């Protein structure tokens, strides 16, 4: 198992009563809620926490991209990744943005990632996403073009990294006569590529294709969804004629460890509930604008997502633990839960969110320490090799 720590860098100082006046922490929440006096300490605290992941023994750190919200303060994740490239020496640095369709000049991602790969000495993991629906309200980019722009921008970036320049790219949304990226990436032919997703058959078909075999990350989803999409990836891979390895499958989830189950739950409660109820809060129309999903996906998940968005503000620690959306407890019980999911789901990369919502610095640090010293050793041997494993059948 490879262990990564992801940070969302939430605006933890937010007035949690904001939702008495506003229906979302995204897009339309007035930025007057952000206190400029608190920004510097918060950013530097978060960067320290990510750097500390290397000290305690994580294999990598992850940053991500979201715009105009209190949920995550990394609209330009490369800024944090750049700081981490210097703050750390060994860990992989995964940028789980960039949201490619939002850009009119996606070659900037080829450039930015190549710079990060150089500065970090070849430690970059390149993430490509579409961004969630809210991004399309914030940036004005047309959600109905999102899929096509994503695929074109991806092809363009891969061309920039792997085809000797200058070359030409002729797409519908992007057209460049001179694709000639300087600097070149250190990792040849290109850095590892990860595709985070909330789960979509279209994304899985594409990521698992034999020409790509990209690492697929299921993010913040109930355990049954996790199982469904990981199985889908494996099934698709065997359809393509190969067996997917655990190292192609990652799971991103919030994790909290304390000495006992009872203590962990008591300490995490307000913070994880704030994460789900306050920071993730947004109406359905913001989350899934028309065109963001294909008509068939929209018909399939639309109503479920609408119901989920409506229920988002009433999440409890019990409900998220029960659904496998929060792994919380003593070192033993956290290891046990992760092992259980590993055996049923077959993931080989754990993307653990060690800070969530309003969780303060001291608890975050202790969480990381306990996880690294008492949980990792128990489960590191699982899903470690690249050989495919047979997962246990669903219950």
Q: Is 298 in the site for other proteins (CB under 8 A)?
A: yes
Minimal distance in Å, beta carbon 140 to other proteins? 5
Q: Is 302 in the site for other proteins (CB under 8 A)?
A: yes
Beta bridge partners of 127: 194
Binding mask 256-295 for other proteins (x = CB under 8 A): ---------------------------xxxx--xxx---x
Minimal distance in Å, beta carbon 307 to other proteins? 14
If the CB atoms of residues 66 and 265 are measured against other proteins, the closer one turns out to be: 66
Q: Is 363 in the site for other proteins (CB under 8 A)?
A: no
Check: CB of residue 38 under 8 Å from CB of residue 384.
no
Binding mask 55-94 for other proteins (x = CB under 8 A): ----------------------------------------
Q: Is 299 in the site for other proteins (CB under 8 A)?
A: yes
If the CB atoms of residues 30 and 140 are measured against other proteins, the closer one turns out to be: 140
If the CB atoms of residues 51 and 144 are measured against other proteins, the closer one turns out to be: 144
If the CB atoms of residues 133 and 196 are measured against other proteins, the closer one turns out to be: 133
The structure tokens 């092809």 sit at: 155
Does the CA dihedral 233-234-240-243 come out positive or negative?
Answer: positive
If the CB atoms of residues 33 and 284 are measured against other proteins, the closer one turns out to be: 284
Residue 28, C-beta contacts closer than 8 angstroms, at least 6 positions apart: 22
Alpha-carbon separation of residue 139 from 66, 77, 136, 362 (angstroms):
11, 16, 5, 35
Residue 36, C-beta contacts closer than 8 angstroms, at least 6 positions apart: none
Instruction: Return the HEC string of 82-116.
Output: HHHHHHCCCCEEEEECCEHHHCCCCHHHHHHHHHH
The structure tokens 């009563």 sit at: 17
CA-CA distance, 56 to 61, in Å (whole number)?
12
If the CB atoms of residues 132 and 258 are measured against other proteins, the closer one turns out to be: 132
Q: Is 124 in the site for other proteins (CB under 8 A)?
A: no
Closest C-alpha among 268, 271, 255 to residue 357 = 271
If the CB atoms of residues 298 and 308 are measured against other proteins, the closer one turns out to be: 298
Number of residues near other proteins (by CB under 8 A): 21
Minimal distance in Å, beta carbon 287 to other proteins? 11
Q: Is 106 in the site for other proteins (CB under 8 A)?
A: no
* Footprint of other proteins on 325-344 (CB under 8 A): none
Binding mask 136-165 for other proteins (x = CB under 8 A): xx--xxxxxx--------------------
Minimal distance in Å, beta carbon 366 to other proteins? 41
CA-CA distance, 59 to 63, in Å (whole number)?
14
If the CB atoms of residues 57 and 302 are measured against other proteins, the closer one turns out to be: 302
DSSP string across 24-80: -SBSSS-GGGS-TTTHHHHHHHHHHHHHHHHHHT-SEEEEE---SBSS---SSHHHH
Q: Is 101 in the site for other proteins (CB under 8 A)?
A: no
Helices and strands in the chain, H and E counts: 14, 11
If the CB atoms of residues 70 and 102 are measured against other proteins, the closer one turns out to be: 102
Helices (H), 142-181: 146-162
Q: Which helix (H) or strand (E) holds 235?
A: helix 223-240
Length of the chain: 395
Minimal distance in Å, beta carbon 78 to other proteins? 25
- Give the residues lining the site for other proteins (CB under 8 A): 27-28, 136-137, 140-145, 283-286, 289-291, 295, 298-299, 302
């Amino acid at each position: 198992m490879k262990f990564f720590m992801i940070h969302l860098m939430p605006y933890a100082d937010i007035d949690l009563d904001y939702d008495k006046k506003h229906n979302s922490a995204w897009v339309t929440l007035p930025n007057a809620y952000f206190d400029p006096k608190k920004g510097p300490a918060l950013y530097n605290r978060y960067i320290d926490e990510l750097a500390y992941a290397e000290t305690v023994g994580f294999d990598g750190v992850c940053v991500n991209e979201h715009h105009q919200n209190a949920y995550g303060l990394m609209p330009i994740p490369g800024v944090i990744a750049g700081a981490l490239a210097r703050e750390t020496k060994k860990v992989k640095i995964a940028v789980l943005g960039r949201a490619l369709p939002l850009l009119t000049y996606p070659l900037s991602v080829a450039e930015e990632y190549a710079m990060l790969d150089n500065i970090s000495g070849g430690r970059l993991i390149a993430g490509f996403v579409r961004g969630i629906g809210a991004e399309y309200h914030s940036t004005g980019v047309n959600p109905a073009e999102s899929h096509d722009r994503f695929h074109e921008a991806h092809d363009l970036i891969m061309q920039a990294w792997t085809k000797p320049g200058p070359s030409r790219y002729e797409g519908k949304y992007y057209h460049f006569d001179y694709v000639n990226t300087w600097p070149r990436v250190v990792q040849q032919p290109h850095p590892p590529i990860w595709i985070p997703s909330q789960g979509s058959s279209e994304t899985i078909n594409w990521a698992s294709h034999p020409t790509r075999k990209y690492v697929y990350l299921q993010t913040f989803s109930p355990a049954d969804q996790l199982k469904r999409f990981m199985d889908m990836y494996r099934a698709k891979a065997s359809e393509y004629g190969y067996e997917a390895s655990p190292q192609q499958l990652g799971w991103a989830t919030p994790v909290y460890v304390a000495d006992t189950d009872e203590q962990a739950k008591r300490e995490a409660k307000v913070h994880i509930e704030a994460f789900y109820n306050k920071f993730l809060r947004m109406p359905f129309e913001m989350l899934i604008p028309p065109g963001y999903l294909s008509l068939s996906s929209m018909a399939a998940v639309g109503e479920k997502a609408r119901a989920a968005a409506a229920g988002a503000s009433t999440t409890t620690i019990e409900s998220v633990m029960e659904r496998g959306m929060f792994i919380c407890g003593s070192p033993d019980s956290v290891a046990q839960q992760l092992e259980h999911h590993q055996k049923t789901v077959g993931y080989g990369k754990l993307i653990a969110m060690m800070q969530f919502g309003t969780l303060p610095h001291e608890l975050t640090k202790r969480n990381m320490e306990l996880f690294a010293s008492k949980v990792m050793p128990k489960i590191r041997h699982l899903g470690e090799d690249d050989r495919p494993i047979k997962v246990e059948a669903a219950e």
